[in-house]
């Protein structure tokens, strides 16, 4: 026939068709073009065979994703067909169909519908209403509606198509099967799984009846049914169906057919969902092997295999292996499809997602940008795939905390989706959800709720009230309410979500388990730990039944249950849960997965809180090692590890070790997240906390302000984290004694929290609590009580009667009452706190120990030393049992017991206890920790009381040396050390040395706090006392007045310290014999103490005693007796019968009839020293 015969052209055409189906597109195009060339030469430009050639070439371009080229070819085919056959020929309808398919793929749904309707009109005119070609047109139109998310319209078209096919083709025709399948697919997308299964079973039945049980099409039906079960989370049912499909395919097509590879692929997907990653990889590799053998190395199915294997590696945290697979896929696509194909863009997206998971955000953005560029060039500005690219880029910006950029990208994506898709399309819903998520991250909860509600409304309209996606919307809304602290609203939403899932999936679906998990988390946040455990266990039970013993979700359940135990302080219960979670993760994910690192991290946190710092560091370092290996040097999780290790050093008081860890964390976050990310703000915050505890208040404020600046820029003025920053800055001012500045900052924080969370959020309780603390330190106890009670009321409303935060509020109120000398009220509060901790945690929790400790302190202040020792020993026993013998809190218990012994004058017993405390602190914190310095100081004070002044000085100097090394030369604790040493010199009568030390203390306090701090006032007070002891009364008055002036300015008119100043000035006048000047001073002191401390406080008793001593000295014995008896009455009520102050009162009353001046001076001298600040 020769080279140019039409039959030769047909042969080239047939060969091209084979290459086309093999995915060898270049070879296919070469053959199709050879066929075209012959046909052009033999038939001319307008022959029908030319239309066929252009149509076939258009099909290759379509499969290559070069849609504009495809449209050009299909249009050429259409034009020839119109010229050769007229407007209404079936071939014209076929051309309209092909062009419609391209438009549909490009997301140009209106254009697609226009083409499909043209095709429909031709078939209707040609064949009438009931022809199979008409059914095909309805089917194609239904496909567009499905892609638009117009499911009701899609069903209407698919049913029209089905009815025609049933009429003209009969019940059992393959096209009827296709119709059932298409209808089933819509039901599946609607989440109407039972309806979908019914349709797929109709399809299966027909295929079995017409083709027999072992036909490949029957295998396809089993696959379709399996996919519905997979979507329902019924993985065992899905595997059963996929296995049936595989068996048929093996029997009918042999071991190496592409359909067998597809079956292995489907089974692998289920294993991946079950977290059985090794089994998934085994199946995917079987699939890949077959595809290599039966298809070309460059076939799209081979690429799919690489992609699927990569996805499992990604789930396993084997990111380098995942990247290797995705790069294989990318290379093939570039070789077969060229650099600008949409599938190449998809490969770049896949690689970008791994980079995102690795925290390599710049790399991720680079890959997403490459993908976007290709998509824009091949699909145009308004294609849904372009919207998807903008969406992906926005996600990275969100992870980086660049919320403004994220919103900009998400809105670009939304704009395209609104233009190309109908208003109710699922992708538009996704856009609203994504925008809501950014608002949530910014703390703009009202905006987030608005977006989530838009999403909910659409889902309800198109999917009905009971669709799983509606349940997801309720979940999202619940999460916002939870973040707002609106726990009742959150529970309502989570329960709505649960109800839908129960109806849709039944009792045992993983999504139902997720709902129980979410509800449990709210209970956890409410402090309803028993309810949380019950609900977490419900979730755990379902996961165990549906996913098996070793699924990652089961590991998550163990983890969550462990977290509740951790919050309850039941560390022994928490550890086995965290270890079970670790065991599963090691089995399913291997030694080096990020989730395994998380488990080590959680175990470390238990050791951390148990005070087992070495074990904590070991676990944190294991976690760190994995994160470093799997995520690289610069991942945010590696930064978290540095942060956690720094936290241990911080708790150990190893501030110099903590700082480099926090700084490393900061360095990584700056590299990976940029200058303005919230995590960078957190790092500045942590560094500030070190400076804060080192007493480097200026450095602390600088860091806290850096953190604040970032939070303001990323979150705006009213975000909760901005409130946290104001809170932290206030705390520094609080410690500096700058109470007005502290109140200003605390109130800024409070204002934001009120605006973002409403009146009853737990953070409001924290704010009121902190403000109460300032008022307490200012000595405005009624204001402090008011704030603490506000905090208590909110906590009661938001967490219920038995939450630990309620116990904490009772503790704070108890402290005020104790300070006011209202010991019975204090005991009532502390016992309320105790009852809560007993109910919440049981008999042996550290919080219970704290309650016993606080009650012991009241008894100590009352002089009920035996009762105090009982309480302190109860506290000690619990701490030893729950925290171990060497925990810092055990050391604190020994300290408290020692203090009682010291007050009882049992100095040897006191030294024994203080030395036990010292030993623990040395072992757990090292020789140079500030707490060790505290122990030396306590021991020194006993020696001082014993009159062993050289031993006292030795201990004080040890304490001083540690403080100098760990805290620097200007820390307030150094000032305290100089102060203590000065007191010893004062007792030794070495007044010049005492003054030197007091002045050193004063210099530090002036540098650290400024001129007007209460501690500076205390220094002037102490210096005045030395002058008094030297008989330099004018110098004493000058210094006492300097102290008084500062206290008046910083603490106000009615603070107890101002009362002390009046008292001390009165004492100087008394010693000078200026009784008329002394009396108004003592009376002013009394007046303040009555206002601030109440009628029955020991300091009020001291004031009556001092006034009595003036009357006594003036010979006004009746007035003296009256005052001494008032003093005695208070001391009896507050201290009981056996307190040393009772002895003093009885002594003074006994001396009234015959004045002994020396004795009166001695009595006042005790009062004077009582007022001295150490």
pLDDT tens-place string over residues 926-936: 888 888 999 99
Share of the chain above pLDDT 70, in %: 98
Q: Are 337 and 344 in contact (CB under 8 A)?
A: yes
Tokens of 604: 């470390």
Model confidence band, residue 881 (pLDDT cutoffs 50, 70, 90)? confident
Residue 123 reports pLDDT greater than 60: yes
CA angle 937–938–943, rounded 5-degree value: 95
Q: So where are the chain's domains?
A: 1-86, 1053-1174
**What's the confidence (pLDDT) of residue 1172?**
31
Same fold for the domain at 1-86 and the one at 1053-1174?
A: yes
Angstrom distance (rounded) from CA 347 to CA 673: 24
Residue 1155 reports pLDDT greater than 50: no
**What's the confidence (pLDDT) of residue 220?**
94
**What's the confidence (pLDDT) of residue 1154?**
52
Q: Are 918 and 932 in contact (CB under 8 A)?
A: yes
Please tell me which residue, 1167 or 672, carries the higher pLDDT value: 672
Arithmetic mean of pLDDT, 67-72: 91
User: What is the tens place of the pLDDT at every residue in 378-436?
Assistant: 888 888 889 999 999 999 998 887 888 999 999 999 999 888 776 777 789 999 999 99
Arithmetic mean of pLDDT, 452-472: 88
Tokens of 435: 């925008």
At 234, phi and psi to the nearest 5?
Answer: -90, 75
**1112 Cα distance to chain centroid:** 67
**What's the confidence (pLDDT) of residue 300?**
84
Residue 1141 reports pLDDT greater than 80: yes
Residue 1171 reports pLDDT greater than 80: no
Residue 1161 reports pLDDT greater than 70: no
Model confidence band, residue 1165 (pLDDT cutoffs 50, 70, 90)? very low
**What's the confidence (pLDDT) of residue 433?**
95
Residue 182 CB neighbours (<10 A)? 22
The CATH number assigned to the domain with range 1053-1174 reads 1.25.40.10
Residue 318 reports pLDDT greater than 60: yes
**What's the confidence (pLDDT) of residue 1164?**
43
Tokens of 1102: 């001291």
Instruction: Identify the CA nearest to 420 among candidates 645, 107, 157, 794.
Output: 107
Going from the C-alpha of 455 to that of each of 128, 326, 427, 488, 503, the distances in angstroms are 42, 33, 10, 22, 21
**What's the confidence (pLDDT) of residue 797?**
85
Arithmetic mean of pLDDT, 521-527: 86
Arithmetic mean of pLDDT, 794-806: 83
**What's the confidence (pLDDT) of residue 24?**
84
Angstrom distance (rounded) from CA 725 to CA 749: 8
Q: Is the dihedral of CA 428, 505, 273, 253 positive or negative?
A: negative
Arithmetic mean of pLDDT, 139-155: 89
Q: Are 680 and 720 in contact (CB under 8 A)?
A: no
In the block, tokens 């707490």 appear at: 931
Q: Strand, coil or helix: what is 571?
A: helix
Model confidence band, residue 1156 (pLDDT cutoffs 50, 70, 90)? very low
What counts of helices (H) and strands (E) characterise the chain? 56, 0
**Could you give the maximum distance between any two Cα atoms of the chain, in Å?**
150
Angstrom distance (rounded) from CA 857 to CA 876: 13
Number of Cα atoms under 13 Å in the Cβ half of residue 468: 19
Model confidence band, residue 1159 (pLDDT cutoffs 50, 70, 90)? very low
Residue 1174 reports pLDDT greater than 70: no
For 89, counting Cβ atoms within 10 Å of its Cβ (0-12 exposed, 13-18 middle, 19+ buried), the class is middle
The pTM of the full predicted model, rounded to 2 decimals, is 0.74
Alpha helices in 295-402 (DSSP H): 300-316, 319-337, 342-358, 361-379, 384-400
Window from 231-245, 690-704, 808-822, 1158-1172 with minimum mean pLDDT: 1158-1172
Per the prediction, the chain carries an average pLDDT of 90
CATH 3.50.50.60 fits 1-86, yes or no: no
Residue 1166 reports pLDDT greater than 90: no
Please tell me which residue, 649 or 1093, carries the higher pLDDT value: 649
Angstrom distance (rounded) from CA 1022 to CA 1043: 9
Q: Are 516 and 539 in contact (CB under 8 A)?
A: yes
Model confidence band, residue 46 (pLDDT cutoffs 50, 70, 90)? confident
Angstrom distance (rounded) from CA 484 to CA 901: 49
Angstrom distance (rounded) from CA 893 to CA 665: 35
Residue 1160 reports pLDDT greater than 60: no
Q: Are 872 and 899 in contact (CB under 8 A)?
A: no
**What's the confidence (pLDDT) of residue 68?**
86
At 1048, phi and psi to the nearest 5?
Answer: -65, -40
């Amino acid at each position: 026939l020769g080279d140019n015969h039409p039959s030769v052209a047909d042969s080239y055409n047939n060969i091209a068709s084979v290459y086309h189906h093999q995915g060898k597109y270049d070879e296919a195009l070469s053959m199709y073009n050879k066929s075209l060339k012959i046909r052009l030469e033999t038939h001319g430009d307008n022959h029908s065979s030319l239309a066929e050639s252009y149509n076939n070439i258009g099909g290759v371009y379509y499969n290559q994703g070069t849609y504009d080229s495809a449209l050009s070819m299909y249009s050429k085919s259409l034009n020839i067909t119109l010229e050769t056959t007229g407007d209404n020929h079936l071939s014209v309808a076929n051309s309209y169909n092909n062009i419609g398919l391209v438009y549909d793929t490009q997301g140009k749904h209106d254009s697609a519908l226009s083409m499909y309707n043209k095709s429909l009109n031709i078939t209707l005119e040609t064949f009438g209403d009931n022809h199979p070609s008409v059914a095909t047109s309805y089917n194609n139109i239904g496909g567009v509606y499905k892609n638009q998310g117009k499911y009701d319209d899609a069903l209407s078209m698919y049913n029209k198509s089905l009815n025609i096919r049933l009429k003209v083709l009969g019940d059992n025709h393959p096209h009827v099967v296709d119709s059932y399948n298409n209808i089933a697919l819509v039901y599946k997308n609607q989440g109407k799984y039972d309806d979908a299964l019914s349709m797929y079973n109709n399809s299966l039945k027909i295929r079995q009846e017409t083709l027999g049980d072992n036909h490949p099409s029957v295998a396809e039906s089993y696959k379709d049914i399996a996919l519905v079960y997979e979507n329902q989370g019924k993985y065992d049912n899905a595997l059963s169906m996929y296995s049936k499909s595989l068996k048929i395919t093996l029997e009918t097509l042999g071991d190496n057919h592409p359909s067998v590879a597809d079956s292995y692929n489907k089974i692998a997907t289920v294993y991946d969902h079950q977290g059985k990653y090794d089994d998934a990889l085994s199946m995917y590799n079987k699939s890949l092997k077959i595809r290599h053998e039966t298809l070309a190395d460059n076939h799209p199915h081979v690429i799919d295999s690489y992609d699927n294997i990569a996805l499992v590696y990604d789930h396993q945290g084997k990111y380098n292996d995942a990247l290797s697979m995705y790069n294989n896929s990318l290379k093939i696509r570039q070789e077969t499809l060229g650099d600008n194909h949409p599938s190449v863009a998809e490969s770049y997206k896949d690689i970008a997602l791994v980079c995102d998971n690795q925290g390599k955000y710049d790399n991720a953005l680079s890959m997403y940008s490459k993908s976007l560029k290709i998509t824009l060039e091949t699909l145009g500005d308004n294609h849904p795939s372009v919207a998807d690219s903008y969406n992906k880029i926005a996600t990275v910006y969100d992870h980086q905390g660049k919320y403004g950029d994220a919103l900009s990208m998400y809105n670009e994506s939304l704009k395209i989706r609104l233009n190309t898709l109908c208003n109710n399309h699922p992708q538009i819903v996704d856009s609203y959800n994504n925008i809501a998520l950014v608002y949530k991250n910014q703390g703009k909860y009202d905006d987030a709720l608005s977006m989530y509600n838009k999403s909910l409304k659409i889902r309800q309209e198109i999917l009905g009230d009971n669709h799983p996606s509606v349940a997801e919307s309720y979940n999202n809304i619940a999460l916002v309410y939870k973040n707002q602290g609106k726990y009742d609203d959150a529970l309502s939403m989570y329960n709505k979500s649960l109800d839908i899932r129960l109806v849709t999936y039944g009792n045992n679906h993983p999504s139902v388990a997720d709902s129980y998990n979410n509800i449990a988390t709210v209970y956890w946040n409410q402090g309803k730990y028993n309810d949380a455990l019950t609900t977490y266990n419900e979730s755990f039970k379902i996961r165990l039944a549906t996913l098996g013993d070793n699924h990652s979700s089961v590991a998550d359940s163990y983890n969550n249950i462990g977290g509740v135990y951790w919050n309850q302080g039941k560390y022994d219960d928490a550890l086995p849960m965290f270890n079970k979670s670790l065991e599963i993760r090691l089995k399913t994910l291997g030694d080096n997965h990020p989730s395994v690192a998380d488990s080590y991290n959680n175990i470390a946190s238990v050791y951390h809180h148990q005070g087992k710092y070495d074990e904590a560091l070991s676990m944190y370092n294991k976690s760190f090692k994995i994160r470093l290996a799997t995520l690289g040097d610069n991942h945010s999780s590696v930064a978290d590890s540095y942060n956690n290790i720094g936290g241990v050093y911080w708790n150990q008081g190893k501030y110099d070790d903590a700082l480099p860890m926090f700084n490393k964390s900061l360095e990584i976050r700056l590299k990976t997240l940029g200058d303005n990310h919230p995590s960078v703000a957190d790092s500045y915050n942590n560094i500030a906390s070190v400076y804060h505890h080192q007493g480097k208040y200026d450095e602390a404020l600088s860091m806290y302000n850096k953190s604040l600046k970032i939070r303001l820029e990323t979150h705006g003025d009213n975000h909760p984290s901005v409130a946290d920053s104001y809170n932290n800055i206030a705390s520094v001012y609080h410690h500096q004694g700058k109470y007005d500045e502290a109140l200003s900052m605390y109130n800024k924080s409070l204002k934001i929290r009120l605006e973002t969370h409403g009146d009853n959020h737990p953070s409001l309780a924290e704010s009121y609590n902190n403000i109460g603390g300032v008022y307490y330190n200012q000595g405005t106890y009624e204001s402090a009580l008011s704030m603490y009670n506000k905090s208590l009321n909110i906590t009661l409303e938001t967490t219920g009667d038995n939450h630990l935060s309620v116990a904490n509020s009772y503790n704070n109120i108890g402290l005020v009452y104790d300070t006011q000398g209202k010991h019975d009220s204090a005991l009532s509060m502390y016992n309320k706190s105790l009852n809560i901790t007993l109910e919440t945690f049981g008999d042996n929790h550290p919080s219970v120990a704290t309650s016993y400790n606080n009650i012991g302190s009241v008894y100590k202040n009352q002089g009920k030393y035996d009762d105090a020792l009982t309480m302190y020993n109860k506290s000690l026993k619990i701490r030893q049992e729950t925290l171990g013998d060497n925990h810092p809190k055990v050391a604190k218990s020994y300290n408290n017991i020692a203090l009682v012994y010291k007050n009882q004058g049992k100095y040897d017993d006191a030294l024994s206890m203080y030395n036990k405390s010292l030993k623990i602190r040395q072992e757990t914190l090292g020789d140079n920790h500030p707490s060790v310095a505290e122990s030396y100081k306590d021991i020194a004070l006993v020696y001082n009381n014993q009159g062993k002044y050289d031993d006292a000085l030795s201990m004080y100097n040890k304490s001083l040396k540690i403080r100098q090394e760990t805290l620097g030369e200007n820390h307030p604790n150094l000032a305290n050390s100089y102060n203590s040493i000065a007191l010893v010199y004062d007792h030794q009568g070495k007044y010049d040395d005492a003054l030197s030390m007091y002045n050193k203390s004063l210099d530090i306090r002036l540098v650290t706090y400024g001129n007007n701090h209460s501690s500076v006032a205390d220094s002037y007070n102490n210096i005045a006392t030395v002058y008094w002891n030297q008989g330099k009364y004018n110098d004493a008055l000058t210094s006492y007045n300097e102290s008084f002036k500062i206290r008046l300015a910083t603490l106000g008119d009615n603070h107890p310290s101002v009362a002390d100043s009046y008292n001390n000035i009165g004492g100087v006048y008394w010693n000078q014999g200026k009784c008329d000047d002394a009396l108004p001073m003592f009376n002013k002191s009394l007046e303040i103490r009555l206002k601030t401390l109440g009628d029955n406080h020991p300091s009020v008793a001291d004031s009556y005693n001092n006034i009595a001593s003036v009357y006594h000295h003036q010979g006004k014995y009746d007035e003296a007796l009256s005052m001494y008896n008032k003093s005695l009455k208070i001391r009896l009520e507050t201290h009981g019968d056996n307190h040393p102050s009772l002895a003093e009162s009885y002594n003074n009353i006994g001396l009234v009839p015959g004045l002994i001046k020396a004795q009166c001076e001695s009595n006042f001298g005790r009062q004077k020293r009582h007022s001295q600040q150490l």
